[in-house]
Chain A
């Protein structure tokens, strides 16, 4: 008579620490194909974790946290006056992406950025895409980030967006889709580099054995990109002077600004360090005034020039726009790029790609409801409890309603806001973002993640392999933004 054999402990590795409480749901799991069965590229990490005493991991995590605190790798939370500086939480378990998947992401993002740049050039010049009725004219002109001042202004190489950070999510079927394009002043790249530095210390052997593509050249690539944009007038005089313009020490990404300036070896300037005389931009140095050619600006359009945009801005430089218009200085990114990452324009990006490039989009969009459309709006208003509603011009997880986790009051509030200003909102289905293991409370737990690769566009398009994997550290949370309790982890793109 056959009796069921007791399953030996080693054959059920999933239930051994640190995976004792690891949970699965309908979302795609980055590490496991099926419960207990890691995907091929995750096997080595899985094995290491089974063998590593949790105490070891806890120590490494503490050492990493302390090193982040001492280095002051922080971000600032707005609207919270107690201790505005906060350490950006870092998780030690890397997110691993096979080379083949990465190549698809790379070509998809390159295609998308090329099309969006053509779109911007068209919008601010002839507007063919509007005449041909592919993108509705009123959608463009009603966008808060449309800058009529940019009409007919020639930007170097026709590149409007030279630094881009696109948010990707992995859907339950395992495919990547674009959630959001960030074409204005995307941030987070310094955390990507800081995470890598820490992980190399924590898992040196595993890192080497895995064959991870390096990312450390990002600052050089950024500098080369910025130099490639320098105005023609500068090349005859000397090597172009590049500066990084920051809003100052109170900005949430200030750490990143200092970090990038230092790594590129360029001056970090604030508005008050610059002045414009005869349409030429100078910075005020101890040795006198020095001419500036390229400004990598991390200040929003609105605040760049009080003479041209918001008058109450003290972060900007009076006269900067005229110098820009005269071609004496280059801004990266250009002014007015926000029109192309408007969340309502987003719905048209696949059409934009087809229109300019004659190609099918390599990376899919997430299904999006436009609330200016009567039938889509009434559908959304009936299904507020299952959809995600986003304000079109916001970023950073602000101004968002997550239907499944909302109260009746919040839904009513959004219903009224949508009815008052339908152009200002879009809705999307609640996405099951993929989940990856994180080391929390002394064990591996599954958390939702996204991926933000950084794309540079100068002489040519450059992507450093990987990007910032952001993690929703709160159990069950779908919001990965650092301002909303998110953290990040290192992303390993394998060389083969």
Chain B
């Protein structure tokens, strides 16, 4: 597979995952805001902005309406949903002969739908439809991808992109949440606080799955354990890292490159996550732990880039 193609598939997948993640965050916020005082809503927006690495308005005024528009329909903001969907489509358009026509049509349709959305009061009132559509559009794309594309090298780059992005986004979200929200790890949370923790779980599409595992009693420790270390839930950090590692192993085998570095980096991270104890993590601070996860994930990303996407020609001629 051409290096440029692999690169495009990888980034297409990352952008789409990013759009889906942002849509979920804002959707959840919109639902929570209905039950909350403006102050706690402002606090959550600050965390949301930090978690999505968006700039906080200079005057420090948190206006949910403006911010929602900036993060969704603002084409000048490169991390808005509309920009991410456009970037995903542009990446796929550059390699569209590599994917199935069903995949292209699905992503193109999502793009056309997002683009035909006009901002304004009326839109905001029914914006949940929009956020739902983005999330569903992404799910559909994944389903179409899994059932119409050969699960070969290209498919693995798509997997890789999605789970690298997810690992990073989850780690950031969990990190900011645990740093900024006062909590005592092993006590169940109550009233106003309760909504915030529900919000965190829902932002990871994890509320129902958490309840199944631990009942509806929310304890920060358990929430952290579930989101960080659960091996079978698709929006946990550990699950995402497992997927990154498997994709890298498959790619390494398929290309026959003697490049062990990305696999090794992902493997080490995978091992760390599978042997970690949540009590230890919480004792030394959840934020430090997720920062280390993010850093290792970044290392793996850089090494993928250097070995598969943009390698020096001299090294390839020798082999």
Contacts and interface: CB of A to CB of B under 8 A. Distances in A.
A70 B97 CA distance: 15
B317 A284 contact: no
B105 A287 contact: no
Given A287-B255, A288-B316, A273 B112 contact: no
Nearest to A243: B2
Interface stretch (A16-24, A101-109, A264-272, A303-311): A264-272
A288 B257 contact: yes
A258 interface: yes
A11 B104 CA distance: 50
Contacts of A3: none
Given A261-B97, A268-B97, A277-B313, A286 B255 contact: yes
Given A272-B4, A273-B3, A286 B251 contact: yes
Contacts of B311: 284
B249 interface: no
B120 interface: no
Nearest to A275: B313
Given A70-B108, A249-B93, A287 B4 contact: no
B251 A70 contact: no
A69 B112 CA distance: 9
B109 A70 contact: yes
A289 B97 contact: no
Contacts of A289: 313, 316-317
Interface string A55-99: 000000000000001111000000000000000000000000000
B149 to A, nearest CB: 12
A283 interface: yes
Interface string B283-318: 000000000000000000000000011010100110
B40 interface: no
A286 B313 contact: no
Contacts of B96: 72, 258, 262
B4 A273 contact: yes
Nearest to B108: A72
Contacts of B309: 286
Residue among B2, B257, B319 having the largest count of chain A Cβ atoms under 10 Å: B2
Contacts, number: 72
Contacts of B90: 249
A26 interface: no
Which size class do B's interface residues fall under?
Answer: 20 to 34
A289 B255 CA distance: 11
A285 interface: yes
Contacts of A268: 95, 97
B97 A258 contact: yes
A348 interface: no
Contact of A71 (B5, B101, B316, B319): B101
A167 to B, nearest CB: 27
B2 A269 contact: yes
Contacts of B94: 248-249
Contact of B1 (A70, A272, A286): A286
B182 interface: no
B93 A286 contact: no
A203 interface: no
B2 A283 contact: yes
A375 to B, nearest CB: 53
Nearest to B89: A72
A207 interface: no
Nearest to B153: A286
A355 interface: no
19 contacts: A72-B96, A72-B104, A72-B105, A248-B94, A249-B90, A249-B94, A258-B96, A258-B97, A262-B98, A272-B4, A284-B3, A284-B4, A285-B255, A286-B3, A286-B6, A286-B255, A286-B308, A287-B254, A289-B313
Given A262-B97, A284-B316, A286-B309, 16 more contacts: A72-B93, A72-B108, A267-B5, A268-B95, A268-B97, A273-B2, A277-B313, A284-B311, A284-B313, A285-B2, A285-B3, A286-B153, A286-B251, A287-B256, A288-B316, A289-B313
